[in-house]
A = this chain, B = another copy of it.
Amino acid sequence: MCRWIAYSGPPIYLEQLMVLPKNSLIEQSRDAQKSKSAINADGFGIGWYDQRSEPGLFRDVYPAWNDENLLNVCQQIRARLFFGHVRASTGSAINRANCHPFRHNNHLFMHNGQIGGFETLHRDLAMAIRPEFYPLLQGTTDSEIFFYLALGNGLAEAPERALALTVAQVLSIMAAHEITDPFRLTATLSDGQTIYAIRYANDDFPPSLYYGTDIHSEVSTDLSLEEDQVCLILSEPLDEVASSWAAVPPSSLLVAKNGHVEIKPFNPQY
């Protein structure tokens, strides 16, 4: 399992969510609270949208709690929309190419979860990637393959539909191989304006996913933020203030933009 966080709103320093909260993402790399794996030390990554058309990307293989470069960059970079991720590998090699987020043009993508029977399905899933995207693969994770499948399914033009198509596509390939292991995931995508997130499983145990309902304490330490401009979607709460966080229901798709969060059912069939 992995842990991730996505923010959209007035520009803040990445450290305000990555470092400073009691259960910050860096803290979750050492001792996650709502994850199968408490330790998520197989690498980390951040992606952030600032003034350029393409987001910045910084990923490395070290435990997040250990890395002075990550700390420095989080202390210095302010962004209006950013992604953070700490990795617990489900088998793939430990290298930067296998760390999240993944980037394609102005899109960032992160994932937590597992495709049941992935070793058996790996080739078919990779072969289902559209030819123009296949050469862009840099690593060997199910996460990255899911991203490129989704891009081929129109992620850049119609993200909600593409996410549904891709989950259905994976279910279909699993069925073709008679895989009974579950398919569970949370995933998030952004084009720099909107954040889309899904929480899904074909059994009753999707990975945890929350969004912020009253995050004033987390992000407004020294800024006077208009809270209704802030969206925060994350694997687990940053602190123990229960009123701040709401669980995203299973089989849901969340769309966050300009501080507004909309939750819709998400239950693709193949």
Residues of A within 8 A of B (CB): 30, 39, 41-42, 48, 50-52, 54, 56-63, 66, 68-69, 72-73, 75-78, 92-97, 119-120, 122-123, 126-127, 129, 131, 134-135, 137-140
A192–B122 alpha-carbon span in the complex (Å): 30
A58→B69 contact, CB < 8 A: yes
B94→A76 contact, CB < 8 A: no
Going nearest first, the 5 A-B pairs with the smallest beta carbon separation are A56-B76, A95-B95, A123-B134, A122-B135, A93-B97
CB-contact partner of A138 in B42, B48, B69, B140, under 8 A: B140
Chain B contacts of A57 at CB under 8 A? 68, 72
Tell me which of A51, A56, A72 has the highest count of chain B C-beta atoms within 10 A of its own C-beta: A72
Chain B contacts of A95 at CB under 8 A? 93, 95-97
A56→B72 contact, CB < 8 A: yes
A62–B120 alpha-carbon span in the complex (Å): 29
The smallest beta-carbon distance between A40 and chain B, in angstroms, is 11
Chain B contacts of A123 at CB under 8 A? 129, 131, 134-135
Chain B contacts of A120 at CB under 8 A? 135
A66→B39 contact, CB < 8 A: no
Chain B contacts of A93 at CB under 8 A? 68, 95-97, 138-139
A41–B60 alpha-carbon span in the complex (Å): 15
